[in-house]
Amino acid sequence: MHRILIFGNSGYGKSTLANRLGKDFRIPILALDTIVWEPNQIAIRRTQKDLAKDLQDFIENNIYWIMEQMLLHLQQRW
């Protein structure tokens, strides 16, 4: 199966590609924005500890996966 990372700028079709591949390969998708930012907040980053825990949980619970993220955010965070 597959482990796929999709990086790119805003508006380049990352989510569209991730959703298409997830559907075609029947594997889960993690949009990293969903774990980078505090839920129900505007532009508030989560702690590195919380982010790392959620990412580790996703990887441990899914043998195959697709992740998508804007490269700039990932570079700044990690």
Global pTM value = 0.82
Work out the mean pLDDT of the chain and round it to a whole number. 89
pLDDT at 70: 83
Residue-wise pLDDT tens digits, 42-53: 989 999 999 999
What whole-number distance in Å separates Cα of residue 75 and Cα of residue 65?
Answer: 21
Give the start-to-end residue ranges of the domains of the chain: 3-77
Q: For residue 9, how many C-alpha atoms fall within 13 Å in the half-sphere facing its CB?
A: 1
3-state DSSP percent of the chain in helix, strand and coil, to 5: 45, 20, 30
User: Taking residues 8-31, what's their average pLDDT?
Assistant: 95
What whole-number distance in Å separates Cα of residue 47 and Cα of residue 40?
Answer: 15
Closest by CA position to 17, among listed 2, 3, 34, 29: 29
- Please give the share of the chain, as a percent, with pLDDT higher than 90: 73
Would the pLDDT of 73 be above 80?
A: no
pLDDT at 78: 47
